[in-house]
Amino acid sequence: MRKRNKTLQAMLEKANAYLKGSDDSEIKGREMLATFVSAFLMEQGSYNGYAYIYWKEQGYAEWITAGEPEGKEKDKFLYGPSGDKSRIHYY
C-alpha cells in the first residue's frame, strides 16, 4: 500500500461524509460513488477496505448482545433496519 497524499485523503473524507450523511433517497448516488472510490483507490494502490457504517457505529455491539447470529440474521446488524448497503465508510 502506498501512502496517501493530502489531496487523496481529503477526497476520501468528502466521499465518506457523503456516504454517511446523504439523504436516504440518494442510494444510487452512494452506490455510484462507492464504485468510483473503490476503483480509484485500487488503481492508486491505496485501497484499505471499508466497513458498513451501521455495523461500525452500533450494529456490532447489538450483534454481540444478540448472541452473534449468522447468515441472514446478521444482515440487520451489518446494514441497519433499512438494509441500506450503500452506507459505507472507507479506511
Tell me if 1 is assigned to some domain: no
Residues in the chain: 91
The number of C-alpha atoms within 13 Å of 21 and in the hemisphere containing its C-beta is 6
The whole-model pTM stands at 0.85
User: What range does the domain containing 86 cover?
Assistant: 6-90
Q: What is the mean pLDDT of the chain?
A: 94
The rounded percent of the chain whose pLDDT value lies above 70 is 96
- Which grid cell is 71? 447468515
The confidence score (pLDDT) of residue 3 equals 65
Position 1 pLDDT exceeds 80: no
Tell me if 50 is assigned to some domain: yes
Cα dist. 16→48, 64, 75 in Å?
Answer: 14, 26, 21
pLDDT digits (tens, 9 = 90+) for 12-39: 999 999 999 999 999 999 999 999 999 9
pLDDT digits (tens, 9 = 90+) for 57-66: 999 999 999 9
When divided into structural domains, the chain yields a total of 1
Distance CA 45, CA 36 (A): 14
